């Protein structure tokens, strides 16, 4: 069995490679990377490298072989045509006759603009004639806890999500699910809605921060337009700020509250609590 992971030096891809190396010989793992030098540590462990760029379809020639199991980690660059990027990988994998192509998508319940590229990519994948697995990842803990500096500076979690709840999980949890699919059997043509075991609200997140810091951290709910302006004022590109504000609207509607136990069942353990991610972020 040979496993190929795109975006292998990214945050999620790195966790996936680590998990794969605990299960299969390094020589059976191929990391698709844009910069060979950044992947030197992987090569030193015996992982095969293939240099490929989502924006240059020709670079995926030879990346895949018949029978490979592939993880397509969705592109994350704002302003890029992600559907075209993903299509290039899907078409190359299908032409090579891979045994499985798993794709990191967004929750099926999400209607925010963030999900548009994912839904379009799923359409391309389902029409490619290749066995597939859709890994519909909910929100990542680290997306929330990775921006603690302004929260601690102002003593407030500022969002536009109302009382909506989020069934998030850690990157390591989602990576473990991908590893289970790539190394297991019976996942062909399946869709998994991957959610954390416990959904939480931003008010509860603020309370957890207060508990762990010993300071009063409040949740301040603002309008989506106000939140978008705050993000732009903090230096985010207008397009990205608009997307994030749209996600909060979806959170307020309950679209990320999550149901089912696909994630914990795939990884064989409970998902990582948000409190653990808060602890790690405060230590970091």
- What is the mean predicted confidence (pLDDT) over 206-232? 98
Per CATH, the number for 3-139+170-195+259-271 is 3.40.50.720
Alpha-carbon distance 138 to 153, whole Å? Answer: 28
Position 76 scores a pLDDT of 78
Q: How far apart are CA 55 and CA 80, in angstroms?
A: 9
pLDDT (0 to 100) of residue 231: 95
Residue 77: predicted pLDDT: 75
pLDDT reported for residue 119: 97
pLDDT value of residue 263: 98
Is there a contact between 69 and 98 (Cβ–Cβ < 8 Å)?
yes
What one-character DSSP code corresponds to residue 62? T
C-alpha atoms less than 13 angstroms from C-alpha of 41 in its C-beta half-sphere: 7
pLDDT attached to residue 24: 96
Residue 263 to residue 270: CA distance in whole angstroms: 8
* pTM, full prediction: 0.96
Give the rounded distance of the alpha carbon of 15 from its chain centre: 11
Average pLDDT over residues 237-259: 96
pLDDT of res. 258: 94
Residue 4 host element (H or E): strand 3-5
Give 21's DSSP letter: H
The pLDDT of residue 232 is: 97
pLDDT at 79: 66
Q: Which of 99, 91, 78, 170 is nearest to 125 (CA)?
A: 91
For the chain, which residues make up each domain, given as ranges? Answer: 3-139+170-195+259-271
What pLDDT does residue 94 have? 97
> Can you tell me the mean pLDDT for 83-103?
96
């Amino acid at each position: 069995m040979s496993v190929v992971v795109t975006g292998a030096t990214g945050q999620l891809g790195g966790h996936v490679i680590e998990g794969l190396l605990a299960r299969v010989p390094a020589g059976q793992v191929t990391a698709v990377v844009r910069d060979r030098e950044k992947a030197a540590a992987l090569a030193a462990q015996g992982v095969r490298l293939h240099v490929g760029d989502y924006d240059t379809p020709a670079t995926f020639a030879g990346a895949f072989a018949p029978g490979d199991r592939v993880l397509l980690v969705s592109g994350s660059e704002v302003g890029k045509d992600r559907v075209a990027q993903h299509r290039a990988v899907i078409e190359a994998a299908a032409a090579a006759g891979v045994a499985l192509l798993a794709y990191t998508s967004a929750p099926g319940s999400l209607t925010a603009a963030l999900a548009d590229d994912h839904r379009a990519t799923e359409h391309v994948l389902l029409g490619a004639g290749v066995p597939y697995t859709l890994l519909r990842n909910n929100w990542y803990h680290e997306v929330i806890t990775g921006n603690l500096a302004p929260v601690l500076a102002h003593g407030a979690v500022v969002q536009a999500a109302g009382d909506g709840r989020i069934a998030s999980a850690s990157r390591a949890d989602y990576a473990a699910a991908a590893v289970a699919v790539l190394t297991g059997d019976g996942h062909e043509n399946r869709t998994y809605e991957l959610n954390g075991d416990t959904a939480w609200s931003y008010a509860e997140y603020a309370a957890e921060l207060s508990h762990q810091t010993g300071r009063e951290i409040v949740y301040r709910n603002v309008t989506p337009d106000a939140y978008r302006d705050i993000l732009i004022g903090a230096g985010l590109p207008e397009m990205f700020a608009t997307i994030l504000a749209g996600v909060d609207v979806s959170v307020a509607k309950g679209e990320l509250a999550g149901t089912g136990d696909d994630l914990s069942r795939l990884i064989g353990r409970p998902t990582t609590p948000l409190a653990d991610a808060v602890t790690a972020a405060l230590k970091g």
